[in-house]
Amino acid sequence: MSTFDEEWAKMLRGEQYDAIHPEFLRRLEATRDRLWEFNMMKPSQIDEQRAIIRELLGSHGERFHINQPFRCDYGCNVHIGEDFFANFNLTILDEAEVRIGDHAFIGPNVSIYTACHPLDAAERNTGAEWALPVTIGDSVWIGGGAIILPGVTIGNNVVIGAGAVVTRDVPDNTVVAGNPARIIKHL
């Protein structure tokens, strides 16, 4: 069995890794415990909420707000810019890095995924997994219920329509919508 540090490095490089290594499971549990605390706080406990988010995330701007509930896998692979806002029920599966620029506005029930699994059932059942990073530029508005899939890069000044499933890169200054998301307007 590889060491955890070797498996973690493979995960961050986008290589196949052993997702059921005991240390991955321990870290997932520790993050979930902290998120449980965050999600159970009174909405008025803003300072306490921000303290937990600052502890969990890899990096963040000074001004941000994340409505409860919020879910992520590790947190340390999530990087948010300045003036970040996320509405209720943001989910980020951050096996790879998720980088979100300044002035991001994320609607309710948005999901951002980096984890990938083999199509072959026998291989998938071994715990094999890999992850691809997601990058979201500055001044992006992601509408409610949108899903961002692994490996996607979203440019600057983009609007993602409510319910969109973003399966490929999105250029700057565009509005995309649908499943799969496609450009419907240039800004």
The residues annotated with a catalytic role in the active site are 117
Q: At what angle do helices 4-13 and 22-40 cross, to 10 degrees?
A: 70
d(CA 78, CA 162): 22
Backbone region of residue 127 per phi and psi (left: phi > 0; alpha: psi in -120 to 50; beta: other values): left
- H helices of 83-187, in order, are 121-124
- From the list 14, 18, 57, 56, the residue with the least C-alpha distance to 4 is 18
Residue 126: alpha-carbon gap to chain centroid: 24
